[in-house]
Amino acid sequence: MTGTKKTARVFALAGVAALALSACGTTGGNNSANAGSGNSSGSGSCGHYEIAYMGALTGPNGALGQNMLGGINTALSEYNAKHADCKVTVKTFDSQGDPDQASKLALNVVNDTKVVGLIGPGFSGESKATGKTFFSAGLPSISPSATEVDLTEQGWTTWHRVIGNDSAQGAADAKYLTGKKVFVVDDASVYGKGLADVVRKGLKPVGNDEVQTGQTDFSATVTKIKGSGADAVFYGGYYAESGLLVKQLRQAGWKGLFMSGDGSEDPAFVKVAGSQAAEGAVLSAPAAPAPADFGTKYASANPGKTAGLYSTQSYDAANIFLAGIDAGDTSLSKMNDFVTNYSGTGVSGPIKFDSKGDIQTSTIYAYSVKNGQLDTANPAPIK
Amino acid sequence: MHTFTHQFFELTITGLVLGSIYALVALGYTMVYGVLQLINFAHSEVFMYGTFATAWVFVFFDQTGVNSIGGEIGFLLIALVVAMLVSGGVALLLERVAYRPLIKKNAPKLIALISAIGASFVLSEAMGLRDRIAAWFGLEDNLGNYVGNARNNYTMPVQINPKGLFTIGDYTVTDIDVITIVAALGMMFALQVFVSRTRFGRGIRAVAQDPESAALMGVNSTRVIQLTFFLGGLMAGAAATLYMLRIGSTRNDAGFIFGVKAFTAAVMGGIGNLRGALLGGLILGVAENWGSAFLGSQWKDVVAFVLLVVILLIRPQGLLGESLGKARA
């Protein structure tokens, strides 16, 4: 019976995705219609360009995708204010973070001739599923958030990311935890397990466990951690689970150091855990803190919303493409050359790609929860 | 293995706590199945609405900071009542919109199943889009504390910390553990009495046994079906408050996994059987924890579902058999 339910869910999910997609398509269409009408009185030489975004906008991880889209919108609204006669719009492809849906959407992305570049895919799993399609189509892409190590080992010369990969982050995290008895937990996702495995390699864990995304009761894991005598826990995964895990650990009386990676580095981590349980937790991220005025810019471009995890990286990624459009490199191959040779400083740090598409220098920062809040302004670089 | 023998009591007790919440939700599946032979897949969302209702009560009374159960007991009781009513109301709405028109037209059961799955998505997405829905009425700012960041985790504004009461083996049982188990058992007992002793309960059993004869005897089957949905909703609402007391955080898709587990519990115990739901829930909760300790948490669902298959192979009707209509109910 559960089988029936799961199958049915999958079909239903596909149906909903299709609906969501058509909704997104409509929104994109409206935007372009607006831009078009502003455009018609302007110079005739202006082509209408679109930047595509692919990632989760709805579904369980929709919040992260919304953070990214907010960053892109911030960059676009700045650009469009300066280029009122030649606006660039974003076209969204909502994969819900699901590799299967992403591979179908990838064909829509590459068939869209107005798209000059892709921001995304958001997650490592969907990046893996779609990289080949984008590479064969020659479409340059910049992911603001996919950090799995393998992604840049595939020879996809169109694939870039403006975020340090998990290998750099995991190594730094292991260094940070040197000398402690560490219990490593991951959420079995491509990202979470990948990061946790790098940490595991960098130190000798006293115990390991693997949980599931969407899990809310961690009593068995808590029992194991307490039983292992660990004085530190490293969690590879996202804040929805890490927040609950640290909460349940503290409720069970465990007093060690809790550390997680960039998937948890979000104010929502403190909300989920509760300020008391989150206190003292350390969350690493391959990104410098956003400059003070970014929050203001973000809020004015996205009324009622605040910047979150991956917003700055998405903003930087969008600006790279916008600079490419300004330079006139609007064909796919020229745009790819532009991105590959790009060098500049974004709000998330200095950006220059190595030959594989990884960001060249990435300092990993340790953010900590102090006085009941994630201190996003003063992280300590891990050296 | 070492961990398992060492922490047998902790794993078992925390498993029983989670299992008793599964059991409360399982009652909704089992009762509707007993009466209509229909699986109400949208019941998971009935539970999810209860989790939000619980958190909203604490937001409404502006309860923040850190407190013990004793300090929040009044608000917890209010939250319990509100969550039960909200979940009961959603269940009634579900019956009215997604089922009754189909039952009236004698639609095949499969159609009702699809309708339930559809309703499940509508309810879940409506919660995930509640900020937009509020915006239609221009209320997104006024209701910001209730509807903001709709797709993110929604957390209780107050942290309720457990207090250790007594020790069994190596494990200190907390007040939250005790309250959860006692409240869940109490609810189930009350439901059992209601179904087996009252006039309304007799109506439910009559329709479960033979809807046509029941109708001939003057039982209003529409009423009975409504009542069944409502009772299932009440139980899910109570489960939701207990869940929030323990977990403290919910999301518009929080019902899905929990619903699958509760449904499994209902099938394991014998779908249509109230005591079966309890037994199934407790076994599932404990099996998950033991499985996690033996093999690692990634195996817990494998253990739980292998157990389900084994039980169904030996007793296809579930541990206690299917019967809401029989005297057992």
User: Which pLDDT score is estimated for B7?
Assistant: 83
Q: Which residue of B has its CA nearest to A228?
A: B3
Q: Which domain holds residue A107?
A: 2-164+291-352
Rounded (5°) CA angle B284-B290-B292: 100
Q: Which residue of A has its CA nearest to B176?
A: A251
Q: Do B292 and A188 touch (CB under 8 A)?
A: no
ipTM of the complex: 0.85
Task: Give the 3-state secondary structure of residue A71.
Answer: helix
**CA-closest candidate to residue A92, choices A76, A70, A69:** A69
Rounded mean pLDDT of chain B? 89
| Residue A333 C-alpha from the chain's centroid | 25
User: Which pLDDT score is estimated for A121?
Assistant: 95
Q: Do B263 and A9 touch (CB under 8 A)?
A: no
Q: Do A63 and B152 touch (CB under 8 A)?
A: yes
Q: Residue A217: inside a domain, yes or no? A: yes
Out of A58, A223, A247, closest to residue B248 by CB: A247
Q: pLDDT by residue (tens digit) across A84-111?
A: 888 999 999 999 999 999 999 999 999 9
User: Which pLDDT score is estimated for A6?
Assistant: 42
User: Which pLDDT score is estimated for A141?
Assistant: 97
Q: Chain A partners of B254 at a C-beta cutoff of 8 Å?
A: 216
* A160 and A301 part of one domain: yes
Q: pLDDT by residue (tens digit) across A220-266?
A: 999 999 999 999 999 999 998 999 999 999 999 999 999 999 889 88
* A110 and A228 part of one domain: no
Q: Taking residues B212-222, what's their average pLDDT?
A: 90
State how far residue B28 is from chain A, nearest Cα, in angstroms. Answer: 16
Provide the CB-side half-sphere exposure for A291 (13 A, CA): 10
Q: Chain A partners of B264 at a C-beta cutoff of 8 Å?
A: 2
Q: Chain B partners of A243 at a C-beta cutoff of 8 Å?
A: 153, 249
Q: Taking residues B200-210, what's their average pLDDT?
A: 90
User: Which pLDDT score is estimated for A45?
Assistant: 52
* A49 and A110 part of one domain: yes
Q: Do A271 and B155 touch (CB under 8 A)?
A: yes
State how far residue A220 is from chain B, nearest Cα, in angstroms. Answer: 5
State how far residue B282 is from chain A, nearest Cα, in angstroms. Answer: 15
Q: Specify the CATH number for the domain of residue A254.
A: 3.40.50.2300
pLDDT over 60 at A160, yes or no: yes
Percent of chain B whose pLDDT exceeds 90: 54
Mutate to test the interface with A, among B32, B63, B152 (most CBs of A within 10 A): B152
Q: Chain A partners of B140 at a C-beta cutoff of 8 Å?
A: 304
Residue B162's identity, in one-letter code, is P
Q: Do B152 and A268 touch (CB under 8 A)?
A: yes
Q: Do A304 and B140 touch (CB under 8 A)?
A: yes
Strand partners, A369: A374
Q: Do B247 and A219 touch (CB under 8 A)?
A: no
* A101 and A244 part of one domain: no
Q: Do A2 and B305 touch (CB under 8 A)?
A: yes
pTM: 0.78
Q: Chain B partners of A59 at a C-beta cutoff of 8 Å?
A: 253
Q: Which residue of A has its CA nearest to B174?
A: A252
Three-state SS for chain B is: CHHHHHCHHHHHHHHHHHHHHHHHHHHHHHHHHHHHCCCCCCHHHHHHHHHHHHHHHHHHCCCCEEEEHHHHHHHHHHHHHHHHHHHHHHHHHHHHHHHHHHHHCCCCHHHHHHHHHHHHHHHHHHHHCHHHHHHHCCCCCCCHHHHCCCCCCEECCEEEECCEEEEECCEEEEHHHHHHHHHHHHHHHHHHHHHHHCHHHHHHHHHHHCHHHHHHCCCCHHHHHHHHHHHHHHHHHHHHHHHHHHCCEECCCHHHHHHHHHHHHHHHHCCCCHHHHHHHHHHHHHHHHHHHHHHCHHHHHHHHHHHHHHHHHHCCCCCCCCCCCCCCC
Q: Chain A partners of B162 at a C-beta cutoff of 8 Å?
A: 251
Mutate to test the interface with A, among B297, B300, B309 (most CBs of A within 10 A): B297
Q: Chain A partners of B288 at a C-beta cutoff of 8 Å?
A: 220
Q: Chain A partners of B292 at a C-beta cutoff of 8 Å?
A: 209, 220-221, 224
User: Which pLDDT score is estimated for B94?
Assistant: 95
Q: Residue A311: inside a domain, yes or no? A: yes
Q: Do B7 and A58 touch (CB under 8 A)?
A: no
Q: pLDDT by residue (tens digit) across A12-48?
A: 444 444 444 444 433 333 343 333 333 333 344 567 8
Q: Taking residues A307-331, what's their average pLDDT?
A: 92
User: Which pLDDT score is estimated for B325?
Assistant: 60
User: Which pLDDT score is estimated for A26?
Assistant: 38
Rounded Cα distance between A79 and A83, Å, is 6
Q: Chain B partners of A8 at a C-beta cutoff of 8 Å?
A: 41, 113-114, 117
Out of B113, B258, B289, closest to residue A219 by CB: B289
Q: Which residue of A has its CA nearest to B291?
A: A220
User: Which pLDDT score is estimated for A362?
Assistant: 81
pLDDT over 90 at B139, yes or no: no
Q: Chain A partners of B121 at a C-beta cutoff of 8 Å?
A: 12, 16
State how far residue B327 is from chain A, nearest Cα, in angstroms. Answer: 26
Number of domains in chain A: 2
Decide: A74 and A350 in contact? Cβ < 8 Å: no
**CA-closest candidate to residue A353, choices A121, A286, A361:** A361
The domain segmentation of chain B, as residue ranges, is: 28-253
Task: Give the 3-state secondary structure of residue A286.
Answer: coil
Percent of chain A whose pLDDT exceeds 90: 63
* A197 and A269 part of one domain: yes
Q: Do B159 and A277 touch (CB under 8 A)?
A: yes
Q: Chain B partners of A240 at a C-beta cutoff of 8 Å?
A: 153, 251
User: Which pLDDT score is estimated for B65?
Assistant: 82
Q: Taking residues A306-329, what's their average pLDDT?
A: 92
Q: Do B256 and A214 touch (CB under 8 A)?
A: yes
Q: pLDDT by residue (tens digit) across A353-366?
A: 999 999 988 889 99
Q: Residue A372: inside a domain, yes or no? A: yes
